[in-house]
């Protein structure tokens, strides 16, 4: 094919262009990153969250104590002798059973974050696959799959979760199963809707017209355009998972001793509130509130960054 020139200047420009380096484009991802980095609340939250995560994984190294040893001297007199103190290395004081609260909070943070992140990942994985398949195939399959989701959603999930934990015993595994059973439903609806709208875009039609195989279309055209929504929803799902887990643990049905979580620690803290050992409530509660806030701010920041039209 020879050069088609639209105007007399063009050959010159084309030659010049050949000598010039390739211009780097700015992808939508790069745009979103800039927008996200400019969002102060989200950036502060990100730093806070990194600190909390660091606390969860390396916090025990800072303390001379561990999370199991019971200090029998303190046990009967936690209110007087169990106060937080930098001097004796019990930074957050003692819990009601005479254990070092700092290390208990480290342990609880680790478990709560794990439940949140793993739960959200499961929900995202299952929900995205389910929703994308339903949306892409469409028709009767879509109808059947989404009616199933409707039915599953109409069941009060807290009730099911509590029943599961009561019937099959209280364990983290059961908690994952219970939360996982319901958390993917919303995700699958969102992804299905998004897939439907992407499926009808002209660039998909262009790919079909060219003869691109359908799995390549999903991989190359559908998934990258879904990713923004999925990422946003996943970050908002993590605090939701943590809240659910904490609520269940607060009720005493979730994480069991000797393991602990934010919800379990807060539960213990509230039960001893009347004895004046308020630090047992405020330390886990502080971490809980700060982390939940941070997750929500990051989620909001991501949504603003990835979908500027939706503000």
Partner 1 sequence: MKDVTAPILRVDDIKVWFDVKMPGSWPWTKPRKLKAVDGVSFELNPGETLGIVGESGCGKSTLARAVMQMAPVEAGNVVWLGDELVGLDTGQMRKHRKEMQMIFQDPLASLNPRMTIGQIVAEPLKTHHPNLSGAEMKDRVRDVLDTVGILPNLVNRYPHEFSGGQCQRIGIARALVVDPKLIICDEPVSALDVSIQAQVINLLMKLQEETGVALIFIAHDLSVVKHISDRVMVLYLGNVMEIAPSAGLYANPMHPYTEALISAVPIPDPKLEAAKEVMLLDQDLPSPLNPPSGCVFRTRCPIAEPRCAETKPTLAHKGDDHQVACHLR
Minimum CB–partner distance for residue 150 and partner 1 (Å): 15
Contact status, residue 109 vs residue 55, Cβ threshold 8 Å: yes
How would you class 212 by CB atoms within 10 Å of its CB: exposed for 0-12, middle for 13-18, buried for 19 or more?
A: middle
DSSP 23: P
Nearer to partner 1, 22 or 310 (CB): 22
Least CB distance to partner 1 at residue 191 (A): 16
191 neighbors 128 (Cβ within 8 angstroms): yes
Cβ nearer to partner 1, comparing 14 with 51: 14
The CB-of-146 to partner 1 minimum distance in angstroms stands at: 14
- DSSP assignment letter at 94: B
Show the 3-state SS of 213-266: CHHHHHHHHHHHHHHHHHHHHHHHHHHHHHHHHHHHHHCCCCCCCCCCCHHHHH
Q: Which is nearer to partner 1, 2 or 154 (CB)?
A: 2
Shortest CB 304 distance to partner 1, Å: 18
User: How near is the Cβ of 225 to partner 1 at its closest, in Å?
Assistant: 6
Tokens of 161: 């979760």
Query: Are residues 199 and 222 in contact, defined by beta-carbon separation less than 8 angstroms?
Result: yes
Closer CB to partner 1, residue 217 or residue 265?
A: 217
Q: How far is the CB of 231 from partner 1 (least distance, A)?
A: 13
- Work out whether the CA dihedral 149, 306, 310, 36 comes out positive or negative: positive
Query: Given the complex with partner 1, which of 12 and 40 has the nearer CB atom?
Result: 12
Of the pair 88, 225, the CB lying nearest partner 1 is at: 225
Cα(20)–Cα(16) distance, rounded to whole angstroms? 6
Provide the binding-site residues for partner 1, judged by CB under 8 A.
1-4, 6, 10, 13-14, 17-18, 20-29, 201-203, 205-214, 216, 220-221, 224-225
């Amino acid at each position: 094919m020879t050069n088609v020139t639209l105007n007399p200047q063009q050959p010159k420009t084309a030659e010049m262009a050949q000598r010039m380096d390739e211009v780097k484009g700015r992808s939508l991802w790069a745009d979103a990153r800039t927008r996200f980095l400019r969002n102060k609340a989200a950036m502060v939250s990100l730093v806070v969250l990194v600190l909390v995560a660091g606390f969860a994984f390396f916090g025990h190294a800072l303390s001379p104590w561990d999370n199991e040893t019971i200090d029998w001297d303190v046990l009967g007199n936690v209110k007087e002798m169990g106060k937080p103190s930098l001097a004796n290395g019990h930074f957050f004081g003692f819990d009601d059973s005479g254990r070092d609260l700092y290390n208990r909070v480290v342990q609880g943070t680790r478990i709560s974050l794990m439940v949140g992140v793993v739960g959200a990942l499961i929900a995202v994985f299952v929900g995205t696959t389910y929703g994308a398949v339903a949306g892409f195939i469409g028709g009767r399959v879509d109808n059947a799959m989404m009616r199933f989701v409707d039915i599953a959603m109409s069941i009060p999930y807290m009730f099911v979760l509590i029943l599961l934990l009561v019937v099959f015993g209280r364990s983290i595994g059961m908690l994952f199963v219970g939360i996982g059973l319901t958390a993917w439903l919303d995700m699958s609806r969102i992804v299905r809707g998004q897939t439907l709208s992407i499926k009808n875009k002209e660039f998909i039609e262009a790919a079909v017209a060219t003869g691109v195989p359908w799995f390549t279309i999903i991989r190359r055209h559908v998934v990258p355009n879904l990713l923004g929504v999925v990422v946003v929803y996943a970050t908002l799902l993590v605090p939701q998972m943590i809240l659910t887990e904490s609520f269940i643990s607060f009720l005493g049905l979730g994480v069991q001793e000797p393991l602990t979580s934010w919800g379990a620690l807060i539960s213990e803290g509230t039960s001893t509130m009347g004895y004046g050992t308020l630090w047992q409530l405020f330390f886990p509660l502080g971490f809980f509130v700060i982390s939940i806030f941070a997750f929500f701010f990051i989620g909001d920041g991501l949504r603003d960054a990835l979908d500027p039209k939706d503000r």
